[in-house]
Every structure is written in structure tokens, then in C-alpha cells.
Amino acid sequence: MGDLQVIGGIKKLNNQNYNTWSTCMMLYMQGQDLWEVVNGSEITQPEAEDVNGIL
């Protein structure tokens, strides 16, 4: 199998396409509701442990 240059409609990152690649990745992650996790703006509460220290 050859080297894949396009995965999921997004061209593989190389040393010439960072700006296009990063914009495509951001838009893809926003569409999948993942961007807040990736950029660190989503705040999650840690799960509470019970009295035995088990989640």
C-alpha cells in the first residue's frame, strides 16, 4: 500500500501546507465538537470518588 497523501479529505501535513492543514483540522474538529477539548477551553470536572476511593 502506498503512502496516503489525503486522509478524510484533508491533505497530509508536510513542510509546505501548514496554514491550509491547520485550518482544515480546526474546521474538522469543530464539526465533530472536539475543538474545545483540543484548544483547552473545555473545562471538565473531575469525577467524584466514593468513600472507598473508587470512581
d(CA 46, CA 40): 15
Task: Say how many domains are in the chain.
Answer: 1
User: Is residue 11 a part of any domain in this protein?
Assistant: yes
Residue type, 19: N
Q: With left for phi above 0 and alpha for psi between -120 and 50, is residue 16 left, alpha or beta?
A: alpha
User: Is residue 44 a part of any domain in this protein?
Assistant: no
Report yes or no: 33 and 26 within 8 Å, Cβ to Cβ: no
User: Is residue 48 a part of any domain in this protein?
Assistant: no
- DSSP structural state of residue 35: H
Please, what is the Cα angle at 46 between 43 and 50, to 5 degrees?
Answer: 160
User: Is residue 10 a part of any domain in this protein?
Assistant: yes
List the domain range (segments joined by +) for residue 13: 6-34
User: Is residue 16 a part of any domain in this protein?
Assistant: yes
Q: What is the pLDDT along the chain (55 residues), one digit of tens a residue?
A: 445 677 778 899 999 999 999 999 999 999 999 999 889 888 877 777 767 766 5
